[in-house]
Structure formats: C-alpha cells, structure tokens
Chains A and B, each alone.
Chain A
Amino acid sequence: MKVTIDGIEIDVPKGTTILQAARMIGPEVAPPTMCYYSKLKTSGGYCRTCIVKVTQGSTANPNPMPKPVASCRTEVMDGMVVQNVTSPEVLEARKGVVEFLLMNHPLDCPVCDQAGECNLQDLGYGHGAVTTRYEFERREFEPIDIGDKIKLHMTRCIMCFRCVKTAEQITDGRVHGVINRGDAAEISTYIEQAIDNDFSGNVIDVCPVGALTDKTFRFKQRVWFTKPMDAHRDCENPKCTGKTRVWLKGDEILRVTARKDQWDEVEDFICNTCRYDKKKKSDWVIEGPTQVNRHSVIAQNHYNHLNNLKVQVMKQQKALGFMDYNKQP
C-alpha cells in the first residue's frame, strides 16, 4: 500500500497505522505520541497529540476525512495522503492539545524525577506555547504508594492509560485502574491495594510523565548526572530477558530500567528483581555506554564540561563580589 505523508511516499504492508508509516519514514514526519505504545495492544487514541489531517482517504475514495484523525489508531489505505507537519491546521490543533495536557499539570519539573526524560517536557518544548492561558486552580492529589517500590503522583498524570494496559497485558493481574470520571478521573488501586507481582515495575517505564516513579531511585540524582550503560545478566525469571539499562553515577548503579528505543518505548519488559534488587556492578555484565541522542539532556553528561562551568560560575561570583559559598570554613 502506498501512502504519502507530508509529501514523502512510502510503501507499507496492509494493517499499518499512519503513525507506524510515519515512523518508518523518520522522526521528521512522525507525530508525537503520549499515550500510544507499540508494545501494548489497544493503546493510543486518548491523548490526541498524534492527530493528523487526511487530505485524501484512498485512491478508491479520494475524499478528505472530515475531521483530523488519531494517526496511532487509523490504518492506512492505498493512496492515502496525510499531512502532519505541513498542515498549519494540525500544528495549531496539536498546540491546543498540549495546552489541554499541561492545563492541570503541576509543572513541578524541578522536583520531579522524570525531568530530563519526560515525554511531556519534550512535547511542551516542541509544540507548546510559552505561557498558559489557564488561570484557575489546578487539580491536585496527594501522592500515594502503590506497592512498596512505586510512588504515584496523580497530579502529574495525563491519563494515557499506558500503565493500565501494561498491568493488563504484561503482568499477571491488574489491581489498579481508572476511577471517577471526566477531569476528576484518576489512576488508583482499589482501596490502596498494593501492586505486587514480578513485572509491575514496568509501569514506571511506560509512564510518559513523572506520575509513576521508582521509589528506589526517587530524589537520588537528576537523570542527566547519571550515565546510562547497556547491561545484561542471566535472569532466573523465564519471562525476563535480563537485558537492561543501568544508570551509573561514578561506579555506583543508581537505578535499572528497561532499554528504550528511538521512540522512547521499552524494548523488552524486565522483571522486578532486575529492576530493584540488582544494584551492584558485579550483578551485571556491562556491554558499553548507551547511544544517546546528541540533543538529549542526558547527552550533556560530560563531567569535565561541568567542572569548567563550575569554575566559570565561581569566577563570576568573585567578580561580582559574592561570598565564596563553596569554601568550607
């Protein structure tokens, strides 16, 4: 099937969605996603950030589709013509969606563990407005523990449903879900029941924002001060491949996550033992440093470079007559 996205034609097999076709072409035309996850069935369609305009339905029926469609859930037809970044209408609509997503988001990035690897930060940076027009009180929830290793900050949640689908499809049983309706809807467990099974930790990895965080890593370090390395071990769990990414500060493993691909999606889901309990370097066979996009904040992790920065700051402080706070009395 031939489909044209932003003027680039590509041949894709039947059953491919517009989003997958766009990702085959490359990141320039791929719409951003917040809720779609290729590894999870029936995910997508909720956040509406991936909406595109279909200017020609197919060769057989060349009429345009009346409304923008969610590219993650719409399958391509032969001869379909799609506009993503070339359509100002789509970009405007996407800006609207980003505004809606950020409307009730606390923007507490400075104290959020997800900062630096947050999809919502990227989305806001790429598609959002500089200020918000929302002037009313934001929705707030108390952070709760779901299980002994996972913290849920519902205030930061954007209701992508990824964690619900992960629990349903990857783990043995789902004990959390969505309660309430509309803008009062929240992810929660039934009467604070603990999420407790050997794959539950994956909900942390699929969460696009800082709503679900790893309690063994919380507040330990900003992610851009850690160094990601690909590693593996022989995992006893038959469902777990043991292929992970360890995040190091010096020689210390601060956290273990699953490996993520170009689209920030987990490659292999990992078990809780690998994630939480194996924090010694001797537990792992380190393969080498992870390839990180040059523009990612995580790639800024050059210690020498940071040292230079520190010296410069001190120089400036001295020049301005500040006290030297770094000197111990």
Chain B
Amino acid sequence: MGKKLLIHNDHVPNIHTLDVYRAHGGYASVEKALKTMTPDQVTDEVKKSGLRGRGGAGFPTGMKWSFLAKPEGVPRYLVCNADESEPGTFKDRYLMEKVPHALIEGMITSSYALGAKTSYIYIRGEYFYVARIVEKAIEEAYAAGLLGKNILGTDFSHDCYVQVGGGAYICGEETALLESLEGKRGNPRIKPPFPAVAGLWGCPTVVNNVETIAAVCPIVNMGGEEYAKIGIGKSTGTKLISASGHINKPGVYEIELGIPVEEFIYSNEYCGGIRNGKKMKAVVAGGSSVPILPTELILTTAKGEPRLMTYESLGDGGFQTGTMLGSGGFIVMDEDTSIVKNLFTFTRFYHHESCGQCSPCREGTGWMEKILKKILAGHGTEQDVELLWDIQSKIEGKTICPLGEAAAWPVAAALRHFKHEFLDYVKNPQNIKDVKHYYRLNNLVEA
C-alpha cells in the first residue's frame, strides 16, 4: 500500500467539515508555518521537496515561487487553478469535494510563503456544486479565525475568494484564467510578461493547480527533505491519478510517483486490470492532450525498461516513443476501441474549445475535425490521412498558448502509432462500425 498524503482521510465521515478535519490533524501546516517559520523557510521547504506542478506541465513549484517579483507596495496574488477541464482528469474535483479544507489549508500556507494578502480559487463553471462545498469550507475557516485578519493570533492576514468560471477549457490556461478572473473574455495573453511579473491586475501572481497547493501542507508538516524521499529522482511525492476507461476499477488513486505503469493498471489496489478480461490496446497517460501510446510502449520504454509512473519515465523517448504524465488523466482503452473515433472525440473537443485568437488553432482544429468526420463517414482518402498529419504539424508550436499543441499532439500520436487503422478505414469503409450509434451518443448529425 503506497503512502497517501492528500486523500488519506477521504473515507472519514464528515471530513469536509472543519471540526472533523482538524480532529484528524488538519491545519497543522498553517500553525507550523505561521508560528515557527518565516515565509522564505516555507519556500525553501517546497524547493527541497522537489514538488512539481500537478496541473500538467510539471514545472518545479519552488522555482515558480522564487520567480515571483516582489516590488514594494504592490500586492501579490496567489491564484488556485481549479478549472480542471482536461478530458479524463477529475482529481481536483475529488479533492475539493471530499477534503475542501486541504485546499484552503494549502492556500493559507502558500500565501504566507508568497506574502499574498489575497488569493482566489478559480473553479470551472461545471463544478458549481464543488464551488459551494469550497465556499462553505471558507466560511468555516473565517469563523474559526483561520482566514481574515491576524490568523491564529499572528500578524498575517489573508482573504480567500472563490470565483466560478463560465466553463471554458481555455480558462485553464493561466493567463486566460487571469483575464477571466479580471472579468474579461478568457483569451490567453501573449507572454512575456509572465504572471510572476505582471499577472492579475498587472500585479505579480502565482497560479498553481489545486493538487500542487494541497501538497504544500504535507511538505510543511513533514519537511521538504522527508517529502523528497517519496518517489524516484526528480519525480517526488505522491500524485493523484484519475483512472478511467475500460478498467475494472475506475476512480481517483493517490500513488507514490515511481510505481510501474503495469502495476498501476493491473494490480487490484489500483485499476484492477482490463474490464471483461479483454486485452489492452492503448493508453492516454496524462489527459486527452498527451500523446496516446500503444500497449507495448506504455508498459516498457523503447529501450525495453519497464515504464514507471514518473515525469521522466513516461517522457522517455520524447514524443516518438514516449508521452507525458501531464495532469494524470489516465485513460485506458481495450482492444475493441477505435482509435479514429476516439481521436474524433478529442478533436471535436479542441475545436469547440479553441478561443479563436490565433489563426492556426482557430482554423486548424475545425479542419482536423471535419477531415476525421469525413473519414468516419467512409468518404476518406489516403491524402486525407497525409493532410491530417500536415495540418497538425502546422498548428503545433505556432500558437499563442498551449491549446494548439494540445490539439495537435493527440492527432500526431494517433497517426504515429495507429496509422494502419486510419488507412484501414480509408480503404475498407465497410470496417467502420457503430458510427450511427456513436453519432447518436454525441448528438451529431450524420455526415
């Protein structure tokens, strides 16, 4: 049984209330940090812990915090990115729903380290009920003197607000999130300047994922060095994985980084193997935008080493033979899955969510969707498959924000590893099965 640090108490009844949460050792990190440590010491502990951003990019959190500009007389902000919209990812929802105080505790401790007097939790619109749970928890924290003026009798004051978004995927991109938080249209900003210099209302801002902020509590409690002992190499600590797809036990699992992928999929402690005794075909390891990998490449790297659940091991081989840990949206597909249909679903999503600012993403995502729809309708040609590759290569890396890449990578990976399936659909349209059913499921008009 691996160590759990974030959702170890999720089975306790009423853990979402302050009293029960505190009875189980909650808010210890706030007491420890505010009463015995300086802000820089907290940042140092986070640096020592080797904690990496849990939202998808895996950027070292301690380093991100140290980049924060600290000019005199300018307020600094901490913004929690709870706009969890990556298809296949639902870990933040689970955490906020079950133990909302873990997030608020992390917000207070992190804000203390950053010197932020105000922080915001930006929750996606679809999670309105989660927002209520978090708001309730914030009320409780205010009543108990954990938020507001002079927290726990110290001279640190802090206010935390919840802001519910409109439900746009793009607002998970940090600068679009800030625009949306400012009340504008959620379009990504052109960087530089980075939020650490000019973020919310032009002030230095740190934007962190829910899980990253929650992980600050155990780091402060146990010390950064102790936390760094969990995991392998540069992938330290625990990570929440949202496992979904054709597995026996889908759900949110907290793993110690470094367990083998094979163990995660087949052990009874985690996913419990493939549903109905089928064979595994492919895995999307970190949310829909990371490259899909076939069974042989997800279980072992191209060099033949077993693949581990770490940032490095999953990324081994680059995009040719590797993928990314991403946000931890682990989607497993069995042998009956059609990669083309699956890709069409993903592409449709990115087409719908493109903000429309820059041309490659605005026009390219729709084009890719239309071509895939054509292939699924049985009218595809080999040129269409080639064209698909060409379009994705012309989107990738040429856009303002990472949505362009997020839309291009799944297409590239599916073509790289499963091109035969596309060609089969093109040459033998009679092999395309259940399209009508698929269209009905997705409220699509037949092509």
Least CB distance, B148 to chain A, in whole angstroms:
37
Given contacts A45-B190, A93-B398, contact A185 B358 (CB under 8 A): no
Least CB distance, A29 to chain B, in whole angstroms:
20
Least CB distance, A54 to chain B, in whole angstroms:
13
User: Inside 8 A of A66's CB, which chain B residues have their CB?
Assistant: 397
A101 B363 Cβ-Cβ under 8 A: yes
User: Inside 8 A of A67's CB, which chain B residues have their CB?
Assistant: 397-398
**CB-CB nearest in chain B for A92:** B394
Least CB distance, B371 to chain A, in whole angstroms:
8
Stretch from B112-120, B242-250, B326-334, B347-355 at the A interface: B347-355
User: Inside 8 A of A45's CB, which chain B residues have their CB?
Assistant: 190, 358, 400
A182 B351 Cβ-Cβ under 8 A: yes
Once A and B bind, how many residue pairs between them come within 8 Å at the CB atom?
A: 87
* Residue B359 at the chain A interface, CB threshold 8 Å: yes
Given contacts A136-B370, A178-B185, A182-B354, contact A68 B360 (CB under 8 A): no
Least CB distance, A53 to chain B, in whole angstroms:
11
A48 B370 Cβ-Cβ under 8 A: no
B356 A51 Cβ-Cβ under 8 A: no
User: Which of B352, B367, B399, B400 is A103 in contact with, Cβ under 8 Å?
Assistant: B367
**CB-CB nearest in chain A for B387:** A133
Least CB distance, A209 to chain B, in whole angstroms:
13
User: Inside 8 A of A159's CB, which chain B residues have their CB?
Assistant: 356-357, 359, 362
Q: Which of B339-387 contact A (CB under 8 A)?
A: 351-360, 362-367, 370, 387
Mark interface residues in A167-178 (1 if CB within 8 Å of B CB, else 0): 000000000001
User: Inside 8 A of B356's CB, which chain A residues have their CB?
Assistant: 159, 178, 180-185
A48 B351 Cβ-Cβ under 8 A: no
User: Inside 8 A of A103's CB, which chain B residues have their CB?
Assistant: 363, 367
User: Which of B168, B353, B355, B394 is A93 in contact with, Cβ under 8 Å?
Assistant: B394
CA A182 – CA B362 in complex, angstroms?
A: 5
Given contacts A103-B367, A182-B354, contact A48 B397 (CB under 8 A): no
* Residue A97 at the chain B interface, CB threshold 8 Å: yes
User: Inside 8 A of A136's CB, which chain B residues have their CB?
Assistant: 367, 370
User: Which of B170, B390, B399 is A48 in contact with, Cβ under 8 Å?
Assistant: B399
**CB-CB nearest in chain A for B362:** A183
CA A183 – CA B351 in complex, angstroms?
A: 8
A97 B360 Cβ-Cβ under 8 A: yes
CA A136 – CA B359 in complex, angstroms?
A: 17
User: Inside 8 A of A180's CB, which chain B residues have their CB?
Assistant: 356
B352 A182 Cβ-Cβ under 8 A: yes
Given contacts A178-B185, A181-B354, A182-B351, contact A100 B190 (CB under 8 A): no
User: Which of A48, A181, A183 is B398 in contact with, Cβ under 8 Å?
Assistant: A48
B398 A185 Cβ-Cβ under 8 A: no
User: Inside 8 A of B352's CB, which chain A residues have their CB?
Assistant: 182
**CB-CB nearest in chain A for B366:** A183
Least CB distance, A58 to chain B, in whole angstroms:
14
**CB-CB nearest in chain A for B405:** A67
User: Which of B355, B359, B397 is A47 in contact with, Cβ under 8 Å?
Assistant: B359
User: Inside 8 A of B358's CB, which chain A residues have their CB?
Assistant: 45-48
User: Inside 8 A of A101's CB, which chain B residues have their CB?
Assistant: 359, 363
User: Inside 8 A of A241's CB, which chain B residues have their CB?
Assistant: none
User: Inside 8 A of B390's CB, which chain A residues have their CB?
Assistant: 96
Mark interface residues in A52-84 (1 if CB within 8 Å of B CB, else 0): 000000000000001110100100000000000
* Residue A158 at the chain B interface, CB threshold 8 Å: yes
CA A83 – CA B326 in complex, angstroms?
A: 32
User: Inside 8 A of A100's CB, which chain B residues have their CB?
Assistant: 359-360, 362-364, 367, 394
* Residue A134 at the chain B interface, CB threshold 8 Å: yes
Least CB distance, A213 to chain B, in whole angstroms:
22
* Residue A104 at the chain B interface, CB threshold 8 Å: yes
Least CB distance, A172 to chain B, in whole angstroms:
20
**CB-CB nearest in chain A for B386:** A133
A183 B354 Cβ-Cβ under 8 A: yes
Q: Which of B214-264 contact A (CB under 8 A)?
A: none
Q: Which of A80-131 contact B (CB under 8 A)?
A: 93, 96-97, 99-101, 103-104
CA A273 – CA B230 in complex, angstroms?
A: 72
CA A44 – CA B357 in complex, angstroms?
A: 10
CA A161 – CA B355 in complex, angstroms?
A: 13
A interface, CB within 8 angstroms of B: 44-48, 51, 66-68, 70, 73, 93, 96-97, 99-101, 103-104, 133-134, 136, 158-159, 161, 178, 180-185
The 7 A-B pairs of least Cβ separation, nearest first, read: A96-B394, A185-B356, A182-B354, A67-B397, A100-B363, A45-B190, A183-B366
In the assembled complex, 8 residue pairs joining A and B whose CB atoms fall closer than 8 Å, in A order, are A100-B364, A181-B170, A181-B356, A182-B352, A182-B365, A183-B363, A183-B366, A185-B356
B interface, CB within 8 angstroms of A: 168, 170, 185, 190, 351-360, 362-367, 370, 387, 390, 393-394, 397-400
10 new A-B contacts at CB < 8 Å, known A100-B363, A182-B353, A183-B366: A46-B357, A47-B358, A48-B358, A97-B360, A103-B367, A136-B367, A159-B359, A181-B353, A183-B356, A183-B365
